Amino acid sequence: MIALLALVGWAVLARTSTGAGHPAHYVVKPTDTLWSIAQKHYAGDPRDAILRVQQANRLDGATIVPGEVLLLP
């Protein structure tokens, strides 16, 4: 009976994980670099995040300009 109550309680309180998150849009500021954006918005090695941002935005290099809108996957 206790196990059943625990299972029901867990099912009611369980939520969808937001670990992967939803893509967000980011407006580049004058002092931003891909490295600084990656450090602020992603955990772990910034190089992995930079690659993902470059691929999502079809960037050939690391050049970004203020006012540019980036998709952050």
**What pLDDT was estimated at residue 17?**
44
Query: Tell me, what's the pLDDT at 8?
Result: 61
Query: Is the overall model pTM greater than 0.85, yes or no?
Result: no
Dihedral over Cα of 56, 61, 63, 65: its sign: negative
Domains along the sequence of the chain with CATH: 21-72 (3.10.350)
Residue range 9-51, pLDDT digits in tens: 556 555 444 456 688 999 999 999 999 999 999 999 999 999 9
Count the alpha carbons within 13 Å of 33 in the hemisphere toward its beta carbon. Answer: 6
